[in-house]
Amino acid sequence: MFKLGKVGEKKAVKYLISKGYEIIEKNYRCKFGEIDIIARKDDVIVFVEVKTRKDNKFGYGFEAVDRKKINKIIKVAKRFLISRNIENPCRFDVISIDADTITHIENAFLV
């Protein structure tokens, strides 16, 4: 992972904790791919994709979460839930860090 991505993920973790989220896991990997952050808030499991940009010259970070990426995140999330025998409700969020602006999109896409 690029240094910028790691910095963005650290900022996202700090942001989520400040909003009352419990971080369950960072950089969860399986054969289908990776999820940046898995968190819990109010008994809901939240799968978070973090996109970081130093500026918006090439668009905002959240614009990079396309259908292909969404499908991959869903597969990885299912694997995580099955492997941990978790039946909690879940949702998918995107955190876009563009320069110094954090945009948190809750329920960014539905399954």
Ranges of each domain in the chain? 3-56+67-91
**How far apart, in whole angstroms, are the C-alpha atoms of residue 33 and residue 54?**
24
**CATH class of residue range 3-56+67-91:** alpha beta
pTM: 0.92
Report pLDDT for 7. Answer: 83
What kind and span of H or E run contains 17? helix 3-18
Q: Find the mean pLDDT for residues 41-69.
A: 87
Q: Is 84 or 64 the better-scoring residue by pLDDT?
A: 84
Quick: pLDDT tens for 12-36. Answer: 999 999 999 999 999 999 999 999 9
